Amino acid sequence: MKEITTPALSGASDYPNATELLMQRFRIAPDHIAFEVRSSRSSITDPWRRVSTREFVTEVRALAKGLIAAGLEPGETLAIMSPTRYEWALMDMAAWFASAVVVPIYETSALNQVSVILQDASVRFAVAGTAEHAQLLEQGFEQAGVSGWQLWSMDAGAGPTLTELVHGGVDITPEALETRRLLATLDSVATIVYTSGTTAAPKGALITHGNFVGQVLSVAGAYTEVVKESGNTIIFLPMAHVLARGLQLICLANGMRIAHLSETKEVVPALGVLKPTFLVVVPRVLQKIQASAAGAAAKKNLGGMWSVAQATAVDWGLLAQERESDPSRKAGLSLRVRHAFFDRLFYSRIRKLVGGRLEYLLSGAAALDAELSLFFRGLGLPVIEGYGLTETTAPLTGNLPGSIKSGSVGVPMPGTTIRISENGEVLARGVGVFAGYNRPADNTHAFQDGFFRTGDTGVLDDQGRLTLTGRIKDVIVTAGGKTVSPTIWEGYVESDPLIAHAVMVGEGKPFLGGLVLLDSGSVSEWAQSKGFTDLQSLRTPDDGGCVEIDDARLRKAISKVVGAANSKIARSEQVRKIVLLVADLSEANGLVTPTMKLKRNIFTDRSMNFIDKIYAETGTQV
């Protein structure tokens, strides 16, 4: 199959712009709880303040009036740089009520990144989360040569506050605000989101109100089992990420309660308090949950039993998957007994750990190992894997409840067409596909025959499900002329918690090699469980580069992972030698994007001496 379309859902024309998603909900259920908000300085386990849709709308209107009084014009840009928090949601919607265009800036961005975005998006108005962010924005305005800028802070003590912004708008009438709210149309730009830039400089994607409305209606229609009034979620992705904002809009429009967390380390204790029914996660979170369970079992001398339990969960998940297409499939007696036993011993405890009410997980932002997906399904926590980009307003395809195929990213969302080009590239057209980039030059090669070029390669099966196979720009051609997409091998290797990133190399070389970046935290936990005290604190270089870890115990463990990955692919695509590395994986070091994706070109440039070692010396033979 080369192309598939999922028909659009009707109803988008009933919305003048994205603010109407909130207002229709407000008219239907004003007193329904929309948010759970953590009080300042309170413990994660303390009661969370509940905010109704009415209260949220009241706060949004007050802030929007303040923006209008401050001189923010219709169609003008407003930057928001803050951790994920309730005030982010308030300012996002308030800007739209004022008919402004929101420019999110990742809270971890460096000064030069802030300056470039402020200049490129012609920003004069900004909101900061903390005093540190306020200082960065101030310096960014100065560096960009912007005059007459205005800045407010969510936290007190960092200049004008949101309270002062509200006070400034008391003379704006409700009628004037409503007129301003309705100025934007579905074709108007709602936000300029700057791409992470794994292989090139960030580009500003122009996402319209119609993109957001279309996606909210499509996702809500396709996932009625997930998106419901009785449900709730916790958003801990960066709010600068379009997926987080899209998720928030879907929940707001459909009555799902939302809580925000900025620290991922607080997510697990928050699960027991908030008891979500649905979570959006990245694969790394799932890997760490699995590894944590394995570690806990090992401490109780149940490591061997856990290995059997893990395999049993995968078998049960596979059976559940097969039963979707063939309901007559039944579990054998042995599998039923093992699953029931391990459910009492392990699985039920994991479900309780995540709150006890979790019905579905959605995984995105990186490839999800099929076996890991089956494992969670076997626990009773099905994972819906989806696929999307900033330029598609997040979800482009997704598995659906009742039709989840592990290893696939599912079928096109309603109103979306997926086409596979002659060279295997995934092309997209539909309700979520953006209007183009802010700089016209960036659009030169972005579209083909009206379809957005994703840069990803993939195949469609006979059911219209998409499976991703790699990135166009990452393809390697060896000295023997063999063309290899490294993504599949890298995904298999990265499924192990000890490994943060894996990069296949070998362009023009006689064989394929691998650079394996270790996850220092996971290695420390692993070393502690093994009693290897000398490995519990790996030295991270402070010069921006990488250091090699030459330890026989780690080499043995990682070689086993790489060997397992090699066994799943063709011999000509297997890695023969590897080097184990540690690096500073903070965004400030320049190796990763704000969403923790590896900047491949920068990493390989900084690691050229290790690549040379693979081919000139010996590396670690797999």
Q: What percentage of the chain exceeds 90 in pLDDT?
A: 67
Secondary structure of residue 437 in the 3-state scheme: strand
- Cα–Cα distance for residue pair 323/291, rounded to 1 Å: 28
The length of the chain, given as a count of residues:
622
Q: Which of the four pLDDT bands, split at 50, 70 and 90, describes residue 477?
A: confident
Q: Is 37 left (phi over 0), alpha (psi -120 to 50) or beta?
A: beta
pLDDT in tens, 548-583: 888 888 889 999 999 999 988 888 789 999 999 998
Can you read off the two tokens belonging to residue 71? Answer: 């001189």
Residue 265 corresponds to which amino acid? K
Secondary structure of residue 488 in the 3-state scheme: helix
Q: Which pLDDT value is given to residue 439?
A: 93
Residue 267 corresponds to which amino acid? V
Residue 534 corresponds to which amino acid? D
Task: For residue 474, report the phi and psi dihedrals to the nearest 5 degrees.
Answer: -95, -5
Q: Which pLDDT value is given to residue 123?
A: 98
Cα 584 from chain centroid (whole Å): 21
The DSSP code for 598 is B
Which carries the bigger pLDDT value, residue 287 or residue 27? 27
pLDDT at 392 over 80: yes
Question: Roughly how many angstroms between the first and final C-alpha of the chain, as a whole number?
Answer: 37
Which carries the bigger pLDDT value, residue 618 or residue 83? 83
pLDDT at 157 over 70: yes
Give me the residue label for tokens 């499924």. 495
Fold of 31-184+223-277: Rossmann fold (3.40.50)
Fold of 283-356+359-472: Rossmann fold (3.40.50)
CB–CB of 387/454 below 8 Å? no
Which carries the bigger pLDDT value, residue 584 or residue 319? 319
- Cα–Cα distance for residue pair 101/156, rounded to 1 Å: 25
- Cα–Cα distance for residue pair 329/89, rounded to 1 Å: 46
- Cα–Cα distance for residue pair 401/113, rounded to 1 Å: 40
Which carries the bigger pLDDT value, residue 573 or residue 480? 573
The DSSP code for 72 is P
Beta bridge partners of 387: 397
The candidate with the shortest Cα–Cα distance to 577, out of 518, 519, 482, 506, is 506
Can you read off the two tokens belonging to residue 288? Answer: 């760490």
Residue ranges per domain, the chain?
Answer: 31-184+223-277, 283-356+359-472, 475-621
pLDDT at 535 over 80: no
Alpha carbon distances (Å) from 288 to 340, 386, 494, 594: 24, 20, 12, 20
Q: Which pLDDT value is given to residue 346?
A: 95
pLDDT in tens, 203-225: 999 999 999 999 999 999 999 99
Average pLDDT of the chain? 91
Mean per-residue pLDDT, 498-520 = 90
Q: Which pLDDT value is given to residue 196?
A: 64
* Best-predicted range by mean pLDDT (427-431, 468-472, 503-507): 427-431
Which carries the bigger pLDDT value, residue 52 or residue 394? 52
pLDDT at 586 over 80: no
Fold of 475-621: GMP Synthetase; Chain A, domain 3 (3.30.300)
Q: What is the torsional sign of CA 164, 170, 172, 178?
A: positive
Q: Which of the four pLDDT bands, split at 50, 70 and 90, describes residue 68?
A: very high
Q: CB-based contacts of 240: which residues, under 8 Å, 6+ apart?
A: 80, 81, 104, 105, 106, 107, 193, 594
Q: Which of the four pLDDT bands, split at 50, 70 and 90, describes residue 584?
A: confident
Can you read off the two tokens belonging to residue 70? Answer: 């401050």
Secondary structure of residue 13 in the 3-state scheme: helix
Q: What is the torsional sign of CA 268, 389, 593, 199?
A: positive
Mean per-residue pLDDT, 26-38 = 97
Work out the angle between the directed axes of helices 131-144 and 111-120 (0-180°, nearest 10): 60
Alpha carbon distances (Å) from 184 to 170, 213, 310, 441, 491: 23, 13, 52, 26, 42
Q: What percentage of the chain exceeds 70 in pLDDT?
A: 97
Domains 283-356+359-472 and 475-621 belong to one CATH topology: no
CB–CB of 61/26 below 8 Å? no
Least confident span in 71-80, 245-254, 571-580:
571-580
- Cα–Cα distance for residue pair 593/539, rounded to 1 Å: 22
CB–CB of 536/506 below 8 Å? no
pLDDT at 320 over 70: yes
